Structure 1
Amino acid sequence: MVLLPPDESSQRTIKRSRVLSYVLVTLAAVVLSLRPDLFGDPQTQPAHALLHVWRIVLGIVLAVAALGVQVLVGVRWRRSLRTDSRAPGNRGPHPR
């Protein structure tokens, strides 16, 4: 199957999704790289361990969201290509 290059609106959507993904990955990297010292002394704060867990969970969620944005945009673009190829002049024989 040969895929045509995206049109202008699809190119804008793809570019915006890439920027959004880069921002999400950068935020994930910042969250995951936070030093434990920023949360205070573990002896004086009982919730210190929970802060570490939430830091890791939030970083993973942001990274997965970045991947999800790329997958979602790719699926929508491929779906739009399929619907455009089924325009009235491009239809094959009707399946029974």
Structure 2
Amino acid sequence: MPPRVLLPPTDADARRIKRSRVISYALVVLAAIVFSMRPELFGDPQSQPVHALLHGWRIVAGVVLAVAALGVQVVVGVRWRSGLRRAAADE
């Protein structure tokens, strides 16, 4: 079995990869901002019974943003590899 050799990305693929990295970094930064929000931003927990719910949604939103950042990278990688396979099949 021949060793796997990955070709460098084409110009269009390189642009797509760069854009996906920027989007992923932005999503990770947003997740970090959401995670770093202090519960006091939502008001006094003694006077607002919804405080616990808002605090929980902060955690859920941060996790969703982090998973979305990972998903962007996975989708772009899969598309690039499938493009390489199609190009190899055409040859």
Structure 1 residues 26-84: Cα deviation after superposition (integer angstroms, max 9, x where no partner): 00000000001101000110100000100000000000000000000000000000000
Question: Is 1:67 the counterpart of 2:91 in the alignment?
Answer: no
Aligned to 2:25: 22
Question: How many aligned residue pairs are there?
Answer: 88
Taking only aligned residues, the RMSD between alpha carbons, in angstroms, comes to 0.4
Structure 1 residues 6-36: Cα deviation after superposition (integer angstroms, max 9, x where no partner): 0000000000000000000000000000001
Separation in structure 1 between the aligned mates of residue 51 and residue 89 of structure 2, nearest angstrom: 57
**TM, length-normalised to structure 1:** 0.91
Identity of aligned residues (%): 68
The structure with more helix, counted as a fraction of residues: 2
Question: Is 1:77 the counterpart of 2:57 in the alignment?
Answer: no
Q: In structure 1, what residue type is equivalent to 2:56?
A: V
Separation in structure 2 between the aligned mates of residue 62 and residue 38 of structure 1, nearest angstrom: 20
2:37 to 34, 37, 41: 34
The structure with the largest alpha-carbon Rg is 1
Q: In structure 1, what residue type is equivalent to 2:9?
A: P
Q: Which runs of 5 or more residues in structure 1 are unaligned? A: 91-96
Give 3-state SS (helix, strand or coil) of 1:86's partner.
Answer: helix
Separation in structure 2 between the aligned mates of residue 79 and residue 39 of structure 1, nearest angstrom: 46
Structure 1 segments (4+ residues) deviating >6 Å: none
Q: Which runs of 5 or more residues in structure 2 are unaligned? A: none
Aligned to 1:2: 5
Question: Is 1:86 the counterpart of 2:89 in the alignment?
Answer: yes
